[in-house]
Chains A and B, each alone.
Chain A
Amino acid sequence: MKMKWRINRLMAVLACLALVLILISEVKGSLAYFTTYTTVGGSQKIGKLSGDTEVEEKVDGNKKTVTVKNTGEIPCYVRVRAYAGELFTLVYSGENWSENEKKDGWYYYVLPLEPNEVSAALTIEINWDSSIVADDFEVIVVEEFVPASYNEDGSTYGDWDAVITTKEVPYDKWEEVAGQ
């Protein structure tokens, strides 16, 4: 009888303990905050940023005919000018070739040149007074290009005033340098 009572008492204590523990664990559960989470990434490669062009000249009498071909991989804008002595006058003509507002001596092709596209011809007529000039002479044609720049709406233009900023240290060492 004594044994039975002891066991009963033990059972009662354990039962109470169990109840308390269950209550405590319930309280803890309600303190948890519900959250959710997701994550995603992605990247895009910047392609070629530099281009290349080739200029072709043909001489026919007192005329030079110049065309420019885009031999690079990205669209670009080109400009051409010719240099001659002061005794010579140069007259430029060509479809889609024009001077800019500043009249800086360059003739600009107003359209962008797509890769492998050849510009319309720019004709440079060279005039001189033959009573003064009798010898051979040179007229030098210079061509320049810039990669096409983009506006926010996707339209293009040639940024001839772009300033190149250079860094002397390879990018993987910038931090080392900065840390010194």
Chain B
Amino acid sequence: MKRLKNRPLFACLIILAAAMMIFSGVQTSRAALTISSDNYFAQLATDEKMHVDLLENETSVCTSKDAGKDGEEPRVGLLQNLLPEGDENIHPGENYKEVLCVQNTGEMDEYIRVVLYKYWQDEDGKKLMALNPDYIVLELNGEEENPEGAEEKSLKEALKENGWLLDEEAGTKERMVLYYAKPLKADEISAPFADTIRIDKKIVNEVLHEETKKDGVELINCTLTYEGKQFSLEAEVDGVQTHNAELAIKSAWGADVMVIDDAGTLELGKTGNVDDPDNAGADDGTQEQEPLP
């Protein structure tokens, strides 16, 4: 022991070695669990220098700087100032301003994914799966009016013009998944992925027809299906590092993307090197990326 005391460096190394052994043991068991449940293993980390904000009508409604824990209910912020002053009711059929953009409020460039959910709730906030999310219409019309007679652009085309990629395979009636094709630079604000929201006027004509029997008398009760219900919009905004983009995006979001040019433009689809972690060096888009056969 005396010798150890005389050699503080060795003592430190012994302690360090013991600590590392224990630590590495824990890591291995965690890694084994992850590997068994997934194709491949990657660590994800949050960084103080990476942040995103969602902007609604030019106002930040949420920021990753005070993000809640995973699984927490999202904070309330969207649709709160939808109605112009003096209006109390949503008018089905009328367009309301809902300009949604993402801002990079961190110090590093990042790729952005937005997942939007739209659904109906009853007065108590219970989700009503049977009511139609298609009646909550989120649109991107742009400022220019479409010329008379011109065919209306599809949402996908309109999004593409604004630099957003719509992942139709990942989407459902309730969910929309979007990727910003270019890396968003620090402080940069993306082009909008929506600018109006409308409740389809068809909700006015949907009636629920219920027949009940009370004391032997048949009662028919007709109620408007959507009257008094709430429509909800939820947005998840994710950012991921631009370095090693294809693998980072595959790891973080499980999505197959290709970097197609030097500017770092993304395209949806599979590349050859995503499944091959050894080929991880190619992140600058200069390497040829042949799609899998």
Please give the residue numbers on chain A whose beta carbons come within 8 Å of chain B beta carbons, in ascending order.
4, 7, 11, 14-15, 17-18, 21-22, 24-25, 28-29, 31-50, 74, 147, 149-154, 159, 162-168, 170-172, 174-175
- Cα–Cα, bound, A17→B27 (Å): 17
Contact size class for B?
35 or more
Which segment of B158-166, B187-195, B222-230, B285-293 sits at the interface?
A: B222-230
Contact A48 B207 (CB under 8 A): no
- Cα–Cα, bound, A159→B88 (Å): 22
- Cα–Cα, bound, A129→B288 (Å): 95
B33 part of interface (Cβ distance < 8 Å):
no
Contact B231 A34 (CB under 8 A): no
Known: A18-B17, A36-B51, A39-B68. A25 touches B239 (CB 8 A): no
Q: A11-B13, A25-B20 are in contact. List 14 more A-B contacts (CB 8 A).
A: A18-B13, A22-B20, A25-B24, A29-B43, A32-B43, A36-B240, A38-B67, A39-B235, A43-B230, A45-B229, A46-B228, A150-B91, A164-B205, A166-B208
Closest B residue, CB atoms, query A45: B230
**Cβ contacts A to B, 25 pairs, < 8 Å:** A14-B13, A31-B43, A33-B240, A33-B247, A34-B46, A35-B238, A36-B51, A36-B110, A37-B46, A37-B236, A39-B235, A41-B74, A41-B75, A41-B76, A41-B78, A42-B233, A43-B79, A43-B232, A45-B123, A47-B90, A49-B227, A154-B95, A165-B206, A166-B208, A167-B209
Q: How far is the CB of A75 from chain B (nearest CB, A)?
A: 9
Contact B67 A40 (CB under 8 A): no
Contact B93 A49 (CB under 8 A): no
Contact A33 B244 (CB under 8 A): yes
B234 part of interface (Cβ distance < 8 Å):
yes
Known: A7-B3, A49-B203. A40 touches B62 (CB 8 A): yes
- Cα–Cα, bound, A168→B210 (Å): 6
Collect the chain A residues with CB atoms within 8 Å of residue B16's CB: 18
Collect the chain A residues with CB atoms within 8 Å of residue B93's CB: 149-152
Closest A residue, CB atoms, query B14: A14
- Cα–Cα, bound, A35→B64 (Å): 10
Q: What 7 A-B pairs come out closest when comparing CB atoms? A: A42-B78, A40-B62, A47-B89, A32-B43, A150-B93, A174-B130, A43-B232
B170 part of interface (Cβ distance < 8 Å):
no
Among residues 159 to 209 in chain B, which have CB atoms less than 8 Å away from a CB atom of chain A? 198-199, 201-209
Contact A163 B205 (CB under 8 A): yes
Contact B231 A33 (CB under 8 A): no
Q: How far is the CB of A140 from chain B (nearest CB, A)?
A: 26
Please give the residue numbers on chain B whose beta carbons come within 8 Å of chain A beta carbons, in ascending order.
3, 7, 10, 13-14, 16-17, 20-21, 23-24, 27, 42-47, 50-54, 61-64, 67-68, 73-80, 82-83, 88-95, 106, 108, 110, 117, 121, 123, 125, 128-131, 198-199, 201-211, 222, 224-241, 244, 247-248, 251-252
Contact A172 B130 (CB under 8 A): yes
Collect the chain B residues with CB atoms within 8 Å of residue A41's CB: 73-78, 117, 232-235
Closest A residue, CB atoms, query B139: A152
- Cα–Cα, bound, A164→B20 (Å): 71
Collect the chain A residues with CB atoms within 8 Å of residue B14's CB: 11, 14
Contact B231 A46 (CB under 8 A): yes
Contact B232 A166 (CB under 8 A): no
Contact B10 A36 (CB under 8 A): no
